[in-house]
Amino acid sequence: MKGVVMEMRKILVAPDSFKGSVSSEEVARQMGRAIKEVNPAIDVVTLPMADGGEGTVDALLYARGGERMKVKSVDPLGRPIEASYGWFPKEKLAVIETAAASGLPLLNVNELDPYRATTYGTGLLIDSAIQEGAKTIMLGLGGSATVDAGVGLLQALGVKIYDENDQELSIVGGALEQIKCINTELLQERIKHVQFIVASDVTNPLLGRDGANYTFGPQKGLTEETLPLFEKGMEQFANIVVAHTEVDHRFHEGAGAAGGIGFTAYSLLNAEFRSGIDLVMEWSNFDEHVKGADFVFTGEGKIDGQTLFGKVPVGIARAAKKYDIPTIAFAGSVGEGVEKLESEGIVMTMPIVDQPMSLEKAMEQGADLIYKQTKRVIKLISL
């Protein structure tokens, strides 16, 4: 580690949110406050981060400016809500999170209903962005409550869905086995001047034991009895799309993201897939902000061996390592495999909980715990 605290000149604070507890912007604020209280001479640069899921809009609005566009939409069960997306008028760029209108946080546990849950609300956000004049739409996949393969999203953008009797279906939700034919003429006309970029850290294919249903379905309400039925329906819809486009994206990495939206984005939106954290860092000019830093502070709710796979702390650490800058990661909880992160540039992983307490209490006190632990770490690296 470099020098003592009086010799430190700059610390870059670039955390993800602690999901369900503290936003990335608030985490960065608390870390920055703690550092300044220990040594006001340190230049603290705050750059909230995200990996394409919840918090991506906030992170990019913080880094790039822009506007938050509020839109009338619907939640996964079709109930009216107000949702928002990020709008950057100079670039004609819209940043949309699937979680904003189709996310698990919009439902309580008793409301999980994969038969009804639809991505129609996300489609309404995309439609609003297109009407606003978007030339590029970045769609962050993560945290969806749906397994409709993005069919609701398509319907909101003008795709016609028909059953075996050639009757047009209303919002389908998870009942994909009803679909026998699709018409995408209105969609193709609507998106012909729009570039879609999908941000996701999920690499699962659409189908199979590692696919959208078996991997993510249980957290959205699927059971052992219903999983095979939904898998069959999703396979049937996928076959229809493959026949329609004459291109097979079922087994591409990320096709299973957000309940199958990844497959639809590949197949019918001609989307380019990017690592969520890499994209957010690029669009936030991370490399410029990190230069000259003595340390980078990052973190998220849980850090373990899985953090290696597209999560914010490792993405940050890898980028900082290029400049020989060590990264310290803070976490609500630290799990198995954390030692693997050392080779990626994370020199220290610090749990924020400082005494025995319940998960609920830790989440309630998240901001204060982050502040106190940051203060301890700054004092520690001063020795």
Examine the domain organization and report whether 225 and 172 are in the same domain.
yes
Q: Which two tokens stand for residue 165?
A: 């009797």
Spans in the chain with pLDDT lower than 70 = 1-6
Quote the pLDDT of residue 325.
Answer: 97
Q: Which among 212, 242, 276 is the end of a domain?
A: 276
Residue-level pLDDT at 6: 47
> Domain boundary at 246, 276, 306, which?
276
Residues 148 and 293 in one domain: no
| pLDDT value for 334 | 87
Predicted local distance difference test score (pLDDT) of residue 8: 83
* Structural domain span for residue 42: 5-49+285-380
Instruction: Name, in order, each residue with C-beta under 8 angstroms of 292's C-beta and a sequence gap of 6 or more.
Output: 9, 10
Looking at the fold, whether 31 and 112 belong to one and the same domain comes out as no
Whether residue 149 sits in one domain with residue 224: yes
pLDDT in tens, 29-78: 999 999 999 999 999 999 999 988 889 999 999 999 999 999 999 999 99
Q: What CATH number is given to the structural domain containing 36? A: 3.40.50.10350
pLDDT value of position 220: 95
Residues 76 and 45 in one domain: no
Q: Looking at the structure, tell me whether residues 157 and 250 fall in a common domain.
A: yes
CATH of the domain at 68: 3.90.1510.10
- The SS3 call for residue 4 is coil
pTM of the model: 0.90
pLDDT of 172: 77
Domain closes at, from 276, 293, 324? 276
Q: Which pLDDT score is estimated for 362? A: 83
Q: Are residues 117 and 255 in the same domain?
A: yes
pLDDT per residue as tens digits for the range 175-205: 899 999 999 999 999 999 999 999 988 889 9
Place of tokens 């796979």: 309
Q: DSSP letters along 248-316, please?
A: --TTSTTTTHHHHHHHHHHHHS-PEEE-HHHHHHHHTTHHHHHTT-SEEEEEEEEESGGGGTT-HHHHH
